[in-house]
Structure 1
Amino acid sequence: MMIRVLLPSTQETTMTTFNRRKVLQAVAASSTALIAGMPAIVLGQKATKWRVQTLWGAGEDTFKYFEEFADKVKVNTGGRLEIQTFAAGAVVGAFETLDAVSQNVLQGQSTYPGYWAGKEPALAVIGDFAFGYRTPEQQNRWLYERGGMDMLRKAYQRFNAYTVGATWWGVESLTSKKPIRRPEDFKGIKHRGAQGIAAETIAKMGASIVVLPGGEAYSALEKGIVDSVDWSTLSVNAKVGFFEVAKYATFPGFHSMPIQDFTVNTSAWKSLPDDVKQILDRTWREFSTTQVARIADNDKRVAEEVKKKGVELVAWSDADLTRARQIAQGVVDEWAAKGALAKQAADSQRAFLRELKLLA
């Protein structure tokens, strides 16, 4: 196995139109009354301003979605919290944001926890439980119902950082210059991946792993530094331009469903008023639901578009996915042995996946 690191250069409620209008009018009236009744010191308090860097390039839809989240935070807090958003590499390198958050150079990051696997192995186990979950909703349940979010926050705690929440961009597609239909097809492939379980699983299948920030993936694919790229979903890959230089993609989804966390400096978090913390948490959860749905819709649309342009969409068989899952669990064992929190996160997720009948 060779891994080479290149540092960066509900139930729906039926309601008549009349009733909806009455409810909206009531909400508006109550909100106005609430604002009118606020003490002047609250209405006039100075805005808290945060600088947050994401893992996304400025031209990607996912970066625009995060900008929309920041705009909603400002509106929902009445201007008391303003988030200035930065694309990958705008303030610090893509692999340097956690240090910047720890030191309060940035007040937050929205990125992939597995980038810091070398600092805390639990972040690899939580950040992307490769070949495990098949939908974001499944891991969301583990995070919020089975103690996963507490584990994630504990993993970040020693870096002076607090995780507000998590989201996903869905189960990733893999774009390649050669068809990759089964584990054996990775032999001899140079593959762009990120630190963690997914990359090491692919390495055990025979690939050489080149660790690069996602923003450098297109250039690496174009120049032949890599033969395949592990970077987000089909629609994001198309937007970046991967299919200009590669004509194969795994779809629907392949192996990896990384978390995109929203993690902030602990002191910055503690300094927020309790109601602003609650608004931030609620706004993030709404953003997460919306992002997942939007990207899923984009992927379905783009799948039809790229096929017309000569891109072959490759779906792995259940048998090959099962074999890959077995390889991945061997990698999980290796990471779980690196720390008590990593083992706890691995055992907990495996138990939940067995309940979901996704793991034997």
Structure 2
Amino acid sequence: MDDRKTLNKREFLRKSVLASAGAVGATALATPYVKAQSPIKWRMQTYAGPALAEHVVKNSIDWFNKAANGEMEIELYTADQLVPHGELFRAVQSGTIDFAQSDDDSAAAPVDVRVFGAYFPLASRYSLDVPALWHWHGLKEVWEEAYAEIPDVTWLSTGSWDPCNFGTTKPIKSLADLKGLRVYTFPTGGQFLSKFGVVPVSLPYEDVQPAIQTGELDGVCWCGITEMHTVGWADVLKYFLTNPLSGAWAGSYFVNTEKWKAVPEHLQQLLRMAIDSSHYYRLHWYWAGEANYRNTGKLELTTIPDAEWKQVEDEAKKFWDEVAGQSPRSAKVVEIIKKYNDSMIKAGPPYRYG
């Protein structure tokens, strides 16, 4: 073999090894620099108090922070910790808070569709109705359109929570029993319930239980029976009305637009996945809990007869039409809700009974 060729091959191999070693060395040197970069840090406030937050948001934020692997960290604050709940949307808009979880209604989102957040009266029967309406019947596109008109806030997602029932210190067995009840509830829900003599009361979340104990409140129409037990309200309530004002709470995630744009795409996607995981967890946590806590006997169950409750259902449809008159987009949402419910009735059990 030609010595020159042999030497050239040896020289080539030697240079290749050195080049590879140099590349490895460069990578090894670069890695500590990347790791040393400060992670993106967000502050997030939820509508929920500490006990409830464990199930409705904290677990998913913990999952995200771990999966983000030091690139990003979200600090979670519970109801009213940073700002009063009614100022939550504006706080995201101004950048005081980076990220928020709430319904559009109680967070005072300055958008016409806010009345459909939380519990729009009798609009849904089951928890799966909410994601079905948003993902398969057009509400997702409506929300994207509505929030595109609001500066500095990006709507990310709406998901399903628990049904809305009365938990009270006095038994409710007829519509007449609603008259004069002082109840902690949502803005739009309170507006509707006032038609039946209910007196809506607005309080900071942490003041609800003491207000029930002192008699300032006769109860809540804020959640289902799972939440009443989780946050301690069941300890001071006596009765649970099985007729739901709504089958599921529609809650959303909002983010400051500039902060969202500054997040790399892979972390944006990771956060969306964490939100979806939270939506899924709540579906089965609430579904299991609603049945379980009805069976414990801690709260006495009462029911308004179907024939009488139909008055509430009929009044809800009139209320829908009132809301539809507020804007063309509200009219579009009401039409979607009507068509959806008609399709569920037509489908029959298990989608709708009776």
Query: TM-score normalized by structure 2?
Result: 0.81
SS at match of 2:110: coil
- CA distance 1:266–1:319, change in 2 (3 Å): farther
Q: Kindly state the Cα deviation for residue 259 of structure 1 after the two structures are TM-superposed.
A: 1.5
Instruction: Tell me whether 137-146 or 209-218 shows the greater mean CA deviation.
Output: 209-218
Aligned to 2:341: 353
Q: Deviations over 1:80-113 (max 9, x none)?
A: 2311100101100111110110001100111121
1:166 and 1:260 in contact (8 A); partners too: yes
1:189–1:207 CA contact under 8 A, matched in 2: yes
1:84 maps to which of 75, 82, 86: 75
Q: Residues 136 and 190 (structure 1 numbering): CA distance in 2 closer, same or farther, change over 3 Å?
A: same
Q: Which runs of 5+ in 2 are unaligned?
A: 1-26, 346-351
1:206 partner amino acid: G
C-alpha separation between the residues in 1 aligned to 2:145 and 2:210?
Answer: 36
**Residue in structure 1 matching 2:163, options 154, 164, 171:** 171
How far is the alpha carbon of 1:315 from its aligned partner? 3.1
**Residue 340 (structure 1) aligned with residue 328 (structure 2):** yes
Q: What is the Cα deviation at residue 132 of structure 1?
A: 2.0
In the TM superposition, what is the alpha-carbon distance from 1:275 to its structure 2 partner? Answer: 2.0
Distance 1:73 1:54, change over 3 A: same
Cα pair 1:194 1:213 within 8 Å, conserved: no
Which residue of 86, 90, 109 corresponds with 1:95?
Answer: 86
Question: Bigger radius of gyration, 1 or 2?
Answer: 2
Residues 1:180 and 2:172 aligned together = yes
Alignment match of 1:105 (pick from 85, 96, 99): 96
Which residue of 133, 149, 153 corresponds with 1:161?
A: 153
1:276 alignment partner in structure 2: 267
Instruction: Measure the CA separation in 2 of the matches of 1:293 and 1:222.
Output: 31
Among 180, 186, 203, the residue aligned to 1:194: 186
In 2, Cα distance between equivalents of 1:213 and 1:326: 32
1:302 is paired with a residue of what secondary structure? helix
1:118-267 matched pairs, under 5 angstroms: 119-157=110-148, 158-196=150-188, 198-251=189-242, 253-255=244-246, 257-267=248-258
Range 95-104 or range 182-191, more displaced: 182-191
Amino acid in the other structure paired with 1:341: R
- Tell me the TM-score normalized by structure 1: 0.80
- Distance in 2 (CA, whole Å) between partners of 1:272 and 1:149 is 22
Q: Which amino acid aligns with 2:312?
A: A
C-alpha separation in 1, matches of 2:190 and 2:172: 15
Q: Over the residues paired in the alignment, what is the CA RMSD in angstroms?
A: 2.6
Query: Number of paired residues?
Result: 318
Q: Equivalents in 2 of 1:117, 1:350: separation in Å?
A: 25
1:320 matched to 2:311: no
Q: Residue by residue, what CA displacement relative to the aligned partner does 1:100-142 show, whole Å, maximum 9, x if unpaired?
A: 1000110011112111558333111244321121112111011
**Unaligned residue ranges in structure 1 (runs of 5+):** 1-35
Structure 1 residue 254 displacement after superposition: 4.5
Which of 277, 284, 289 matches 1:293? 284
Q: Say which is worse superposed, 201-210 or 272-281, in terms of deviation.
A: 272-281
Paired position in structure 1 for 2:7: none
Structure 2: distance between partners of 1:52 and 1:342: 29
Of 323, 331, 338, the residue aligned with 2:319 is 331
CA contact (8 A) 1:125 1:346 kept: no
1:113 partner SS: coil
Residue 52 of structure 1 is matched in structure 2 by: 44
Q: Distance in 2 between matches of 1:335 and 1:214?
A: 27
Deviation at 1:65, TM superposition (A): 4.2
SS at match of 1:167: strand
CA contact (8 A) 2:88 2:107 kept: no
One-letter identity of the residue aligned with 1:194: F
Counterparts of 1:188 and 1:261, CA distance in 2: 32
- Determine if contact 2:40/2:73 at 8 Å carries over to the other structure: yes
The 3 A distance-change label for structure 1 pair 288 and 252 is farther
Distance 1:326 1:253, change over 3 A: closer
* 1:276-327 deviations in Å (ceiling 9; x for gaps): 222211221121111221122223222222x1x4x21123433334321211
Indicate conservation of the 8 Å contact 1:117/1:195, yes or no: no
C-alpha change, 1:69 and 1:298, in structure 2 (3 Å) is same
Shift in Å at residue 45 of structure 1? 5.6
